Chains A and B, each alone.
Chain A
């Protein structure tokens, strides 16, 4: 074997002996075997979560680009179609999600201070707000089905729920169809993320109940919080873009 001055086998201060051979000192129970310390583990979690969220931004980005392209191609149809959405329900959901972001932030703070009751209460509230959002969304979707505003063979077949603009310009109806397709795709993908988020919070709640989250180690709680805030922020972009952009055209009902 050739000489190897490349790496001297020295145990560095922060990087102690291996998990298996390091019987000497006690590890934190939350420390995985392949990390040297909690700090390294947390750094990894933070990097990993942000990289995941960047990935999510690109994923939603594709939908946003599609929306922007078609809005640019068919501005009138998009503006008038957006007036068919239920702004009060959308606004209610915006408020619900903003409130859930607050309770989420407080739950993470409960992790940082080590207050188990704060964690539990705030996580429950976050889950309740998340489910409330989904319930409101359900009523919105149901309304669209009843009004025949779901892209499909009977799209805009109910004159009671077609605005005068589309009655005067039936050639714009296929473009309204694209708007509603994107509406369902974007809010649908967002709602799927909400469902995942609610499941995630339920799991985090169970872990919090076991008292896993202590000030020096509550990565899972904090990372789930990042995810939750991200899903909220997506909605903060979706709401004005989909619901409000055509508002000034009037004829809103």
Chain B
């Protein structure tokens, strides 16, 4: 299963057993900015794929109150033990992929040893992009789509954002020193 949407929906079901529309609203709030999917039909598609693979299972939601009487119960989903295990493996693989991409960027920048001014320009723009990124904002109560109190996922994402930001600034500082040293060496090598 390669679709990140499917894995993300699995994570939401693991977080809390639920039904399609509620999962869609949670998806939009937590991941809408980084993984836009446009329509809730994608969530239903993901639920079908997860159920077919045995990662989630349907449970019957008891009808409550007079308003629910006579209505078709909503399909309600919960994660299976296999689903939880697969999700953990996927999350770790994602983290490795993230590290791999970061190393790739660092090494690709190293190709600019003969053009240190260009590298310094890239670092400048990269640093500004990090400074402008508001992803590390502290989560607070929001009103979208209804009143939402930030949960563990929000707090973890915020803390991750700020720690990555600080580590990145430290790395940019180091890389800048390397390229500035190359700039100052340049006249001597001619």
Report if A and B associate in a common complex: no
Q: Measuring CB to CB, which residues of chain A are less than 8 angstroms from any residue of chain B?
A: none
Q: Measuring CB to CB, which residues of chain B are less than 8 angstroms from any residue of chain A?
A: none
